[in-house]
Amino acid sequence: MKRLRERIAGLRVTLWTLIVPPSMWAGHFLFSYLWAALNCAKVGEFATFPTLFAVGTAIALAVIVAAGWVAHVQANRKGDTPPHDSGTEIDRLRFLATATVLLAALSFIGVVFTAMPVIFLTDCR
């Protein structure tokens, strides 16, 4: 576990890393609506247990949690003590990592709320 933490600490959080959680949320949102539209058009009702949808939701949540965990490890790196008057490289890294953690939390909640109608609704009306 410590070795994995050290390898993650060696990674760099960038703007590309920052957009992974909201991109997964958007992809899951699109997947949800397409799944519902196709299922209602072809079958006329939702499946009793939508296996494909559950797998897609689990994959989206796993990617979001992984991105959030990597960012969390990066955000807790040692650096200068406050106030951060000079914008050092580690301060910028910790800022991006903290923003990524917050976006990962928001995206996780968004994916769960997007999945709820499929879980609770059984009719296409």
> What's the pLDDT tens digit per position in 69-84?
988 888 877 766 666 5
Reported as half-sphere exposure (CB side, CA atoms, 13 A), residue 100 has a value of 30
> What's the pLDDT tens digit per position in 31-58?
888 888 887 887 776 666 778 888 999 9
